[in-house]
Structure 1
Amino acid sequence: MSEGSGSTGGDRQRLDKWLWFARVIKSRTSAAKLVEEGHVRVNSVRADNPAKSIRPGDVLTIALDHQIRVLKVVAPGERRGPFEEARHLFDELTQPVGNPVPPL
């Protein structure tokens, strides 16, 4: 199976590459380091390999310096484009800080 972008790899993509394409992390090297250090979970399971394949529907929990982001993968990336393009690769599931969910 090819891990590249585009149709040859299907809907799967390397975790570190996706994090970089989605503009979650500034560099692919930093994305790989974040994964290796255990700061990324895929579907609630800690990822320890930057080459782990992810696909649409997977939920990523990412521990960054001052926040935890929860993202649902919508599509694999094809390139590192502008933010407006990268935003279409995921749905943000993170609850905003300071806006608690009202009781039912």
Structure 2
Amino acid sequence: MASASEGSVRVDSWIWAVRLIKTRSLAATACRAGHVRVNGDRAKAAQAVRPGDEVRVWHAGRERIVEVVKLVRKRVGAPEAVTCYADNSPPPPAPLEAAVVPRRDRGAGRPTKRDRRELDRLRRTAGPGTER
């Protein structure tokens, strides 16, 4: 068992250990970017968390809101990780509600260099007063 006997653990280490974020360096980067909040305040990577603290992590396009139940320093298996926090996150959005990225038809949009040259040739020969 990887429980911490002391009263606190670094927030980046804890969110990595309970598998909210894949790597410890990603957890530290999320803290530096302001994507991690502890009890409503932006958290630095070395900030301590204690049982009862609320941790909000914005990762992979959604916000996870968890309450610290048990402290762990080392990464634990998924079944044990779930026992270390109480998940108060809203349910993930349905696939239809997720933002749909618009797709552009091939050939629509900005012309290629070849297309621009052809357009220039057409403009030179078709327009009045364009004789050079």
- 1:41 paired with 2:37, answer yes
State percent identity of aligned pairs.
Answer: 35
Match of 2:106 in 1: none
Matched residues, number:
92
Larger Rg: 2
Contact 2:51 2:68 in 1 (8 A): yes
Per the TM alignment, residue 63 of structure 1 is displaced from its structure 2 partner at its CA by 0.8
Change (3 A) 1:52 1:78: closer
Match of 1:102 in 2: none
- 1:95 paired with 2:103, answer no
- 1:59 paired with 2:54, answer yes
Residue aligned with 2:65, SS:
strand
Per the TM alignment, residue 81 of structure 1 is displaced from its structure 2 partner at its CA by 1.7
1:1-104 to structure 2, matched below 5 A, reads 6-7=4-5, 10-47=6-43, 49-97=44-92
Amino acid aligned to 1:22: V
Contact 1:71 1:92 in 2 (8 A): yes
Per the TM alignment, residue 46 of structure 1 is displaced from its structure 2 partner at its CA by 1.1
TM-score normalised to structure 1 length = 0.81
TM-score normalised to structure 2 length = 0.65
Contact 2:9 2:73 in 1 (8 A): no
Gapped regions of structure 2 (runs ≥ 5): 95-132
Gapped regions of structure 1 (runs ≥ 5): 100-104
Could you tell me how far apart the structure 1 residues matched to 2:92 and 2:26 are?
Answer: 25
Give the number of the structure with larger relative contact order, counting CA–CA contacts within 8 Å between residues 6 or more apart. Answer: 1
Amino acid aligned to 1:18: W
Deviations 1:41-91 (A, max 9, x none): 1001111x2010000000011111211110000011142121001111100
